[in-house]
Amino acid sequence: MAFAMPRAYDRAITVFSPEGRLFQVEYALETVNRGATVVGIRCVEGVVLGAEEIMESELQDPEFTWKLYQVDEHVGAAVVGLGSDARVLIDRARISAQSNRLLYDEPIDIEIIAKRIGDLKQLYTQHAGVRPFGASLVIGGVDNTGSRLYMTDPSGSYRSYKAVAVGKGRETAEPILIKEYREDMTLEEAIKLAVKCLIKAIEARGEKPRLRIAVIPKETKKYRMLSEEEVERYIKEVSG
């Protein structure tokens, strides 16, 4: 039986290779793996989302954030990979959250958002003329079931996590999470753990840390981005 040349499978998103692989999806996953590090941690008191943000120019506005987004009052997301792709997915997530409020007069469950984003990503792995989304979303929040944390990848799959790290610093951050994560952590402890993971991931590359941290406390169920002063204080505490 004759097969097409190996690289032909690189060009066709809808064709499996003889080994059962979709190369375009794997390339999208590699884009995510090379992106800036993001972490998510859930605890009994809420959810923490953190990201490293790389300044591409000294003239760039330091107040502008492109890694952490508020999806709804009780939901946030950290993105890694192509920012333009991620922005489209964030908009879809926001539409789902608002539609749920209009239809059912209640906040959307975190898993439903993760599933809908996963469904959209999956569509872009099986149709000609499109390419997979080159982004992963770490979606966290507090709903009626408690603190929830999910990660979606370019293939369309999504999984629930207690703590997760994605991006080029994953190999540094994940062992720290495995070693130090506890299910009974306070929100304060979870913030410090997220900061520690990001700092170690950045320092491993010999770069200066620049972090963004957002929290969704279980008490208020309100997304809040920490100020630069608060983040600097946590960096000093963790580094000291």
C-alpha dihedral sign at 230, 235, 237, 238: positive
Question: Taking the CA atoms of the chain, what radius of gyration do you get in angstroms?
Answer: 18
Q: In sequence order, what DSSP letters do the residues of 60-95 get, joined into one string?
A: S-TT--SSEEEEETTEEEEEEE-HHHHHHHHHHHHH
DSSP string, 93-134: HHHHHHHHHHHHSSPPPHHHHHHHHHHHHHHTTSSTT-----
**For 18, how many CA atoms within 13 A lie in the half-sphere containing its CB?**
8
What is each CA distance from 226 to 82, 85, 99, 105, in whole angstroms? 24, 25, 28, 29
* Residue 37 a catalytic site member: yes
Q: Which of 14, 31, 37, 220 is catalytic?
A: 37
Residue 34, both tokens: 């090379």
To which residue do tokens 């002063």 refer?
Answer: 229
Residues that are catalytic: 37
